[in-house]
Amino acid sequence: MEMSVGLSNSVKGGAVLKLSFCPLAFSRFNPSPPSSTSKFLFRKKSYSKKLTGRRLISKMTDSEVKAATSDSTAGKMIFQPILEDGVFRFDCSANDREAVYPSLSFINNKSRDVPVMSNKTPSYIPSFECRLGQQIVKLEFPAGTSFYGTGEVSGQLERTGKRVFTWNTDAWGYGPETTSLYQSHPWVLAVLPNGEALGILADTTRRCEIDLRTECRIQFISLPSFPVITFGPFSSPTAVLVSLSHAIGTVLMGPKWSLGYHQCRWSYDSQERVLEISRKFREKGIPCDVIWMDIDYMDGFRCFTFDKERFPDPKSLVKDLHNIGFKAIWMLDPGIKHEEGYFVYDSGSKHDVWIQKADGKPFVGDVWPGPCVFPDFTQSKARAWWANLVKDFISNGVDGIWNDMNEPAIFKTVTKTMPESNIHRGDHELGGCQNHAHYHNVYGMLMARSTYEGMGLADRRKRPFVLTRAGFIGSQRYAATWTGDNLSNWEHLQMSISMMLQLGLSGQPLSGPDIGGFAGNATPKLFGRWLGFGAMFPFCRGHSETGTIDHEPWSFGKECEEVCRLALKRRYRLIPHIYTLFYMAHTRGTPVATPAFFADPKDPNLRTLESCFLLGPLLVYSSIMPDLGSDKLQPLLPKGIWLSFDFDDSQPDLPALYLQGGYVIPFGPPHQHVGESNPSDDLTLIVALDEHGKAKGSLFEDDGDGYGFTEGEYLLTHYVAELESSVVTVKVSKTEGLWKRPNRRLHIQLLIGEGAMIDAWGNDGEDLQIEMPSEIEVSKLISSSKEHHRLRLESIKHIPDVEDGSGHKGGELSRTPIELANGDWSLKIVPWIGGRIISMVHLPSGSQWLHSRVEIYGYEEYSGMEYRSAGCTEEYNVMQRDLEHAGEEESVLLEGDIGGGLVLQRQITIPKDNPKILRIESSILARKVGAGSGGFSRLFSIFTSTFFFLFHFSFRLLFDYLV
């Protein structure tokens, strides 16, 4: 251990108090780590082995334990057909098949455990090896196979070359190499060279490594014993997802209003501010349906309470919101303040619902309210207790509930969650009494389930809407999800597309990012481009962190505001189509948003496209580069006919839209909120004929809420179009449901190329015929459309390239993360959120262990909004950046004004001569210390909190064991 401390006395005008520390980053092979730390870790490892042994013995005989954990056990897995044709369950042995825990991913546990009759045999049989207490499962595929899925993950769309660990983690400020995020989906979708596809599920709730680093090989590693379920190969990726939905369930059918735009912030701090924001949407004609209340509406962060000063009358607030067409969603966290006299704590203690420590006492961990206890959602009595609290909470006018921090996240701990030794007294059908390591990944899903059921108890006439941060494969049955605490930069805009798609490819179609980025200040161009694209995402919400600039659509200037208005009007016109896709997803298991290669799974060129996606047959294509708009794109389109169109709203910051030949999609007029629409609105069908002159499409309609659709109270219309003898006939081919067709006009827009179209009007339900013009007339229409498009692009006002924050003394405020890499370390530092290190990767091991917070010996690296040192501002200027400075090191020097004439300097260095060391050197400079400045007191208070030690070797021991 090496540590250097320098201290110099304060003097007027140029005082420097300097505390430098040089934490050694030991490599995993360093032979001499600090003895006290290594003893602690070895004790922890020994204890964990004993706990694992008890877990196995509780379910198996001694011989079965030996069979499941033998260092030499290996071979091909045994299989049996389950669920339906083409689905197989694989186990290491018959004993293992009997020993596994109940499935928490399957909607019906029996369908995983009961074999069915089938004449098929599996095309791919996994091999296994049980070594060092781990079950390792491998599947080999032919060259040219592409891997997708793996749930909520950052980074590239095509997952070959990546490794994921399923361990729900509060991963604020994650990057493309972060290996664990907020949700766990031990699932891979393999697309074979011929376009067929196969799905593979490792059905375990435990921490599981999904290793795709070897081309054409999938490897799952977790504690034994767990089964592997394969789906297919089937003819297409869609067929695999449909089969998966038969196992894990389909997405909930949410209320129609939930498909509108959602506006959120941490936090709108009073009911006056909530109403001000909502009314401004209406005044500016920007469509929006939902406004969200983050944690600050509560009384001291106590769940199920309201701050009496800032939110004194929530019922009145919600009534006012409903009157202008808004719904209200409120946050509920799992951490319940440990405080006698607080009715939720007292009630939970009376019902004995808290998670326990190994000694049987309730576990207490710090979250927003301070010391908290946590409901044990693995128990039916705890779920019922929570559901009844939710039921009562709904009476305040709550329209939807947001479950956050439910990984569960715990403050003041390096692991960011509760100890794995904690005890859950789970229901027998869930797996019985187990430690937290067993239930950690499903805790958020079970909380979302309890919340969903509570909303159902409150009003059975309405469909619940729940948003959850943490989840597991199967949680789509209860909640939507968002992609967590992302950053306001172009990298996260790009990743948001792939992340939304991966969740859809893992059975969770109702998802989206915090549009504009949660942490940091978006620029006008970034926000406009992000909302332009994000308006087409299945779940569409803007959200930003406290301490950042305003992130409402009008906050970035008139040009950006207009882009946002047009983008959201597009979304609202397409809601009939999106709502139909969700009805199909709910009833049939078909996906909602998919990668472009779903249009042609055989085409390898489409498999890595990350700037586009499909909504059914509608292709959304945009630029993810700051200096390149969609008008300059030369998109790679799937084979076949793809016809472009817009709503006379073309913009470089809006995506280009293409409809696949052979399809019809419905849309309506642009409303300010979903409740404005009514069945008598004019209906428009966009028609793109295929090479045979045919097209088809569907429209689902119902009340938009409630469960009447399950009893036939709906109308599902199937439209067809066909060209015969230069006449296109559009008609209804079939209907389903008991609803009568509304009396409305039907507008047909027949696409003929380059955005040109032929318009025709009629009455919905009647055959409508369109006379096709001559080739010369078609050519004129296309030329006219192209000219109109050109003139429009020339006349629009572009969003200015504004990058805020030029610093003093020649320093500047970088709006993109700064990366340092040398030797053993790769770091990402973000000046505009407090100069924090948000990513720290040890390159030899590949471990990423600083996502959120490290607090050791009084010093804190915390990649959240709050910086603990007294008086510190949120932005640092980059004073100097040296890559191999003087041939010795990579470094960046940051400086932030902390008031009182003081600045805090941070120099982060990776020395070239000793690349195992990471050096963070903090200095407090008194530039203007004098009477009344307050500088001396601030200087002292910061000095007392600036010690930091990192033991990479120690962390690697823990990391190796945990994963």
84 and 230 both lie in a single domain: yes
Contact 662, 690 (CB under 8 A): yes
875 and 932 both lie in a single domain: yes
Average pLDDT over residues 733-744: 97
Which residue among the candidates 407, 702, 705, 874 is catalytic per the annotation?
407
Average pLDDT over residues 378-383: 98
The boundaries of the domain holding residue 185 are 72-248
Range in 31-40, 357-366, 741-750, 869-878 the model is least confident about = 31-40
Average pLDDT over residues 402-428: 95
H-run or E-run covering 909: strand 902-911
Which residue among the candidates 404, 701, 824, 861 is catalytic per the annotation?
404
Q: Does residue 585 lie within any of the structural domains?
A: no
Contact 531, 516 (CB under 8 A): yes
From residue 334, alpha-carbon distances to 93, 362, 367, 418 in Å are 39, 14, 9, 12
CA atoms within 13 A on the CB side of 356: 15
Distance CA 787, CA 789 (A): 5
722 and 669 both lie in a single domain: yes
In the three-class reduction of DSSP (H, G, I as helix; E, B as strand; rest coil), residue 808 is classed as: coil
Q: For residue 841, what pLDDT band results from cuts at 50, 70 and 90?
A: confident
pLDDT of residue 385: 98
655 and 764 both lie in a single domain: yes
Q: Does residue 935 lie within any of the structural domains?
A: yes
Neighbour tally for 783: CB within 10 Å = 12
Q: Does residue 953 lie within any of the structural domains?
A: yes
Q: Tens digits of per-residue pLDDT, 335-347?
A: 999 999 999 999 9
Cis before 233? omega within 30: yes
Contact 675, 786 (CB under 8 A): no
Instruction: State the DSSP code for 134.
Output: E
Q: Is 485 a catalytic residue?
A: yes
pLDDT of residue 489: 93
Neighbour tally for 490: CB within 10 Å = 19
Q: Is 407 a catalytic residue?
A: yes
Q: Does residue 301 lie within any of the structural domains?
A: no
634 and 756 both lie in a single domain: yes
Q: Tens digits of per-residue pLDDT, 927-946?
A: 554 433 333 333 333 333 33
Measured in whole angstroms, how far is the alpha carbon of residue 71 from the centre of its chain? 38
From residue 513, alpha-carbon distances to 219, 287, 649 in Å are 29, 19, 24
Neighbour tally for 573: CB within 10 Å = 19
In the three-class reduction of DSSP (H, G, I as helix; E, B as strand; rest coil), residue 89 is classed as: strand
717 and 825 both lie in a single domain: no
Q: Does residue 885 lie within any of the structural domains?
A: yes
Which residue among the candidates 485, 561, 653, 860 is catalytic per the annotation?
485
769 and 820 both lie in a single domain: no
Pairing label, strands 715-724, 618-621: unpaired
CATH number at residue 657: 2.60.40.1180
Q: Which of 774, 798, 826 is the last residue of a domain?
A: 774
Which candidate, 706, 708, 257, 258, places its Cα nearest to that of 460? Answer: 706
Residue 776 has pLDDT above 80, yes or no: yes
In the three-class reduction of DSSP (H, G, I as helix; E, B as strand; rest coil), residue 227 is classed as: coil
Pairing label, strands 78-81, 87-91: antiparallel
Residue 576 has pLDDT above 90, yes or no: yes
Instruction: State the DSSP code for 299.
Output: B
Phi/psi of residue 250, each to 5°?
-100, 170
**Joined tokens for residue 551:** 């992130």
Instruction: State the DSSP code for 40.
Output: H
**Residues sharing a CB contact under 8 Å with residue 427, sequence separation 6 or more, in sequence order:** 378, 379, 380
740 and 826 both lie in a single domain: no
Q: Tens digits of per-residue pLDDT, 162-211?
A: 999 999 999 988 888 889 999 999 999 999 999 999 999 999 999 999 99
Q: Does residue 158 lie within any of the structural domains?
A: yes
713 and 828 both lie in a single domain: no
823 and 770 both lie in a single domain: no
Q: Tens digits of per-residue pLDDT, 626-656?
A: 888 888 888 999 999 999 999 999 999 999 9
